[in-house]
Amino acid sequence: MNSTLEVWNAATPEQATQQILPCNGSRAWAEQLTDLRPFDSAFALTCSADIIWRALPESDWQQAFDSHPRIGEHHAKAATTESLKWSAGEQATANPDETAKAELAAGNRAYEQKFGRIFIVCATGKSTAEMLTILNQRMANDPATELREAAEQQRQITQIRLRKWLSMAI
């Protein structure tokens, strides 16, 4: 069994919730996952994480969205220190110049005006140009479609972060 998973399985419920919260940002998600312990494998944990995520109401999705900084920025509405470090690493490939930063800022503002939340994209391995293209494509979505797409992007981010978390020593 994974050593991080072993330690997490043995933690108090509040400790376990706090330890896994940076992987997603939704307290309800973290608490529900904690309540399902113990997990005997990383696979069982990651599958359960997806099932819980998909069943959460929009308000809990929003809490997770709020834990991310805007693409091209370093601050979030509500994030843990670990979550912000992961976000910075996930966006590192983008490395935007001043023109791209301005385009991202304008795109972020337009997205927020249309959908009422920040633009969420699984940024790992994506360039600034790719993220701008995705943002522009998603601006054509209706609100319901875009909410589902944002939730799917958050699910992908969560899976990447769970794998990072499982590789850490607690």
Contact 72, 52 (CB under 8 A): no
Check if 68 is active-site.
yes
Least Cα distance to 161 among 96, 74, 64 occurs for 64
Contact 53, 151 (CB under 8 A): yes
What residues contact residue 49 under an 8 Å CB cut-off, 6+ apart? 23, 24, 29, 33, 158, 159, 162
Q: How far is CA 21 from CA 32, 78, 79, 112, in A?
A: 11, 12, 9, 24
What residues contact residue 155 under an 8 Å CB cut-off, 6+ apart? 50, 53, 54
User: Distance between CA atoms of 118 and 76, rounded to whole angstroms?
Assistant: 10
- Three-state DSSP at 133 gives helix
Please pick, among 28, 68, 121, 165, the residue that the annotation labels catalytic.
68
Active site residues: 68
